[in-house]
Amino acid sequence: MKKKLSFPLLIILIIIGSGIVKNTNFKTFEFEKFWLGILYIFTFLLTLFLMLRPEKKEQ
């Protein structure tokens, strides 16, 4: 069964992903603000999980 992607979650995913890219120093692969980077990654993964989790089957 195909799952439809949630548009609001997709927008949140794009915004958080761009925040990760802006906050990352690619020369040293470190975050400019460490805890903000950790929060970005946590939120990104949580949103990704919510988008891709299987739907519950009603009985």
Other Cβ atoms less than 10 A from the Cβ of 47: the count is 21
pTM of the full structure: 0.78
User: Would you say residue 4 has pLDDT above 90?
Assistant: no
CB 20 within 8 A of CB 41: yes
CB 26 within 8 A of CB 39: no
The dihedrals phi and psi of 11, each to the nearest 5 degrees, come to: -65, -45
CB 48 within 8 A of CB 3: no
For position 2, what pLDDT does the model report?
A: 61
Contacts of 30 (CB under 8 A, 6+ apart): 24
Query: How is the chain split into domains, by residue range?
Result: 7-52
Q: What is the pLDDT of residues 21-53, one digit of tens each?
A: 999 988 998 989 999 999 999 999 999 998 888
For position 52, what pLDDT does the model report?
A: 85
